[in-house]
Amino acid sequence: KSISCFTSQEEEEALFTAMKSDAERNAESMAGQHQDRDASTSTAQLDTLPVKELYKQHLKKSIEKTVMEIKYLDRKLKKVDLEILLLERQLRE
In a domain, 73, yes or no: yes
In a domain, 88, yes or no: yes
Q: Is 41 left (phi over 0), alpha (psi -120 to 50) or beta?
A: beta
Q: How many domains does the chain have?
A: 1
Whether the predicted model's global pTM rises above the 0.85 cut: no
Q: Which residue range(s) make up the domain with 33?
A: 8-92
In a domain, 48, yes or no: yes
Per-residue pLDDT of the chain (93 residues; tens, 9 = 90+): 444 555 666 666 766 666 666 666 665 665 555 555 555 566 667 677 788 888 888 999 999 999 999 999 999 999 999 999 999 999 998
In a domain, 62, yes or no: yes
What separation in angstroms does the CA of 36 have from each of 77, 78, 85? 27, 27, 37
Q: What is the spatial distance between Cα 92 and Cα 80, in angstroms, rounded to a whole number? A: 18
Q: Is 73 helix (H, G, I), strand (E, B) or coil?
A: helix
Q: Is 12 helix (H, G, I), strand (E, B) or coil?
A: helix
Single-letter amino acid, residue 48: T
Q: What is the spatial distance between Cα 54 and Cα 60, in angstroms, rounded to a whole number? A: 10
